Structure 1
Amino acid sequence: MRVTFLGTSGAVPTVERNPSAVLLRREGERLLFDCGEGTQRQMMRYSTGFGISHIFVTHLHADHVLGIPGLLQTLDFNDRTEPLAIHAPQGTRRRLEDLITAAGDRPTYPLRINQVQPGETVLDREDYRVEAFETDHRTTSVGYALVEDDRKGRFDREKAEEELGLPPGPEYSKLHAGEPVEHDGRTIRPEQIVGPPRPGRRVVYTGDTRPTAATVEAATDADLLIHEATFAEDRRDRAGQTGHTTAKQAAELANRAGAKQLVLTHISTRYAGNSDQLEREAREVFEGDHAEVADDGLKLDVPFPSE
C-alpha cells in the first residue's frame, strides 16, 4: 500500500503546494481522496497513473473539487471505458453534476455519483472496506477510513513438516483456510500449525475539520492518520472559527486514537515557504512512531502492523 500526496495546500495553491488530493494505491487499485485544482497534472508529475476506480470527496469547497472536471475529461480523451464512481456527502449530487457538466457533456464512460453519510460503508471489497465518518467543517463534510480485514495467521511450515510429519501439498492450503486434514490416521487441526489472525491496515483521511470524537474513533489504532493542520497553535482561535485544526490539536487527537503515524496536510499559505513550526508543534506532542508535514510528492508505504 502506497500513499502519494498530490496536493497539500489549504484553500489556494502556492508555488510549492497544490490544493488537496491524496492518492492511495493498494495492490494495483488506485483510490483518489479529494481532487483539487491541477490534480491531473500532479498525477503525471508524480507518476501515479490515471487508472483510478473511485474518487472520495470530503466536501465541496472549491479547493477539494475543482480538479474533477479536467481529470474526467482527460480520462475521456484517453478512451477510458471502465466505470468510475465519485463518492461525496449527502445532498451534494446536484452541485457535483453541475460542476462536471459546466464545460461540456458528461464523460462517455460510465460515471456514478454516490452520496454518503457518516457511519456508512462506502465501498465494500472482498478484503477491505472504505467507511465514511463524521467531520466538523463549515459545510456538509465527511472523512474516510480504509480498513482492511484481518489476514490469515502465519503458517508454521517447520512444525508441519518436522513435528507433525506433514509434507508440502494441498493439505497446507486446506489448513491455512481453516479446514482440518487427515494424515497417517490422524486429524491435524488448523490451530496446531496456523497462528492467530493478523490485523490488516487502517488508513484515515479527514479532509477539512475541527478535531472530533468521530475522528478519534475512526482512527483508533490507525497505521496512518492523514489529518489537516491548517494553522499553528498561535492561530488556534482562527482554526476553530474557520472549521480547521492546528498541528498540535491534530497530534493530540492522534494520541487519543493511538495512531502509529501522523501526516499533516492542508497547510495554510502563511506557512507556504516554511512549515517547520507546524511539524515541530506536532512532534513535541505526538506519542506514536512518526509525525511530519506532507509536501507535494511525498510517497509513503504503509506496512502491515506485524511488519
Structure 2
Amino acid sequence: MSMRVTFLGTSGAIPTTQRAPSAVLVNREGERLLFDCGEGTQRQMMRYGTGFDISHIFVTHLHGDHILGLPGLVQSLDFNDRTDALAIHVPPRSREDIRDLVHAGGHQPGFPVRIHEVSPGSVAYAGDDFEVRTVQTDHRTRSMGFALVEDDRPGRFDREHAEELGVPVGPKFGRLHEGESVELDDGRVVHPEQVVGDSRPGRRLVYTGDTRPVDAVEDAAADANLLIHDATFADDEDARARQTGHSTAREAGRLAARAGVDRLALTHVSSRYAADWKRLEREAREVFDGDCFVASDGQTIDIPVPE
C-alpha cells in the first residue's frame, strides 16, 4: 500500500529561486490529494512528475501564497479535457472567495468544481479506508490544518493456530481475517479473536499550513508517521513568529517531540534563510530526536505501512 508525499512548494510568503510557495501532493494508492496550491503549483507538478489527476484540494487558509495557483491549475485541467469533478475543501466563510478565484478572468471550467466549506474538528473527506480530518490552527486569519488518517488494519492472522484448530487452508482463512466466524465440517465454530491479533493502526500524516504551535495539532499528530509543520523562523525571530502567527523550527520540534511523531518535515521557510536553512534543522533537532529535516521543493517521502 503506497503513500508518497511530494513537496511542491516549501517557501514562506516570498518565494525564492529554490523554493516555490506552499503546496504538498500526497499520492495514496493512486489517489492524488493536493494540500494548498501556491502560485506556480501546476508547473511544480510538471517538473516533479506527480501527475495531474488530483481528486481533492485542501486549502488551509486564504493567504495568497497558499491559493494563487488555483486558477492556473483549474484552467490547465480544463485545457486537458478533464471531465471528472474536482473538490476543493476550504475554511468557513471562504467559499465565495475561492469561487471567484477559480473563475478568475471569467473562466468557466468545463468540469464540475465543488467547493466545500469545512470547520476545524470535522471530516473534510472520507475515502474508502481513510479520512482527511480538519485540525484547528492559529494563524492571522481563518485557518486549519489537515490530518490524513487511515483506518485501523486487521491484526495478524495466526495461520499455525488456525490449522491446529482444524480450519482448512483456503477461503475460511480470509473470512476469519476479515472478522467473520466460520463453521468447521464437524460443527465446531472458530471465531476471529481465536486466530487474529489486535488491530494495527494505519498511517497518519498531518499538514499544518501556517500556524503557531497549538494543542489541537499536537493531539492530531499523536504517533503520526509524518508531521509537516510550519517552521518559518529561527530562534532569533521568535517575537516575529508570535506576531505573524507562525512557528519557529524549535517550536515545531518541541511539538513533534511531545506528540511522539516518527518524522518531522519543516516547511514554509522564510526567504531570509535561503542560504542558511540548515540552521532551522539544527535548532529543531536540539529538542526533537526523531527524523527531522527541512523539506525542499521536489523532495519525495514514502510512508511505508508500519509493521
TM range (shorter): over 0.9
- Unaligned segments of structure 1, at least 5 residues: none
The Cα offsets for residues 50-69 of structure 1, whole Å up to 9 and x where unpaired, read as 01000000001000001000
Aligned AA for 1:30?
A: R
Alignment equivalent of 1:211, drawn from 195, 210, 213: 213
Structure 2 distance, partners of 1:140, 1:29, is 28
Aligned AA for 1:174?
A: R
Q: 1:168 and 2:187 equivalent?
A: no
For the 8 Å contact 1:16–1:273, the answer to whether it is kept is no
**1:179 corresponds to:** 180
Instruction: Please state how far the C-alpha of 1:85 moved relative to its aligned partner.
Output: 0.4
Instruction: Please state how far the C-alpha of 1:214 moved relative to its aligned partner.
Output: 1.1
Which secondary structure does the structure 2 equivalent of 1:53 belong to? strand
Structure 2 distance, partners of 1:67, 1:24, is 17
For the 8 Å contact 1:222–1:258, the answer to whether it is kept is yes
Structure 2 distance, partners of 1:281, 1:49, is 35
Give % identity. 63
The Cα offsets for residues 157-191 of structure 1, whole Å up to 9 and x where unpaired, read as 23333x23433211112111211212242222212
Aligned AA for 1:17?
A: R
Q: 1:227 and 2:229 equivalent?
A: yes
Instruction: Please state how far the C-alpha of 1:120 moved relative to its aligned partner.
Output: 1.1
Which secondary structure does the structure 2 equivalent of 1:231 belong to? coil
**2:121 corresponds to:** 119
Structure 1 distance, partners of 2:74, 2:265, is 28
Instruction: Please state how far the C-alpha of 1:126 moved relative to its aligned partner.
Output: 2.5
Which secondary structure does the structure 2 equivalent of 1:263 belong to? strand
Which secondary structure does the structure 1 equivalent of 2:57 belong to? strand
> What TM-score comes out, normalization by structure 1 length?
0.96
The Cα offsets for residues 142-170 of structure 1, whole Å up to 9 and x where unpaired, read as 11011111011111223333x23433211
**1:5 corresponds to:** 7
Aligned AA for 2:180?
A: E
The Cα offsets for residues 181-227 of structure 1, whole Å up to 9 and x where unpaired, read as 12242222212221111101110000001111111111111111100
**2:41 corresponds to:** 39
- The two structures, once aligned, show a CA RMSD in angstroms of 1.1
Aligned AA for 1:298?
A: Q
**2:18 corresponds to:** 16
Which secondary structure does the structure 2 equivalent of 1:108 belong to? coil
Which secondary structure does the structure 2 equivalent of 1:103 belong to? helix
The Cα offsets for residues 225-251 of structure 1, whole Å up to 9 and x where unpaired, read as 100100001110011111100000000
Q: How does 1:264-283 map to 2 (within 5 A)?
A: 264-283=266-285
Instruction: Please state how far the C-alpha of 1:103 moved relative to its aligned partner.
Output: 2.0
Which secondary structure does the structure 1 equivalent of 2:105 belong to? coil
Structure 2 distance, partners of 1:295, 1:21, is 11
**1:77 corresponds to:** 79
**2:246 corresponds to:** 244
**2:294 corresponds to:** 293
Structure 1 distance, partners of 2:159, 2:241, is 55
Structure 2 distance, partners of 1:101, 1:179, is 51
For the 8 Å contact 1:239–1:245, the answer to whether it is kept is yes
Q: How does 1:55-204 map to 2 (within 5 A)?
A: 55-161=57-163, 163-185=164-186, 186-204=188-206
Aligned AA for 1:164?
A: L
**2:306 corresponds to:** 305
Aligned AA for 2:119?
A: Q
Structure 1 distance, partners of 2:103, 2:129, is 35
Instruction: Please state how far the C-alpha of 1:10 moved relative to its aligned partner.
Output: 0.2
Which secondary structure does the structure 1 equivalent of 2:27 belong to? strand
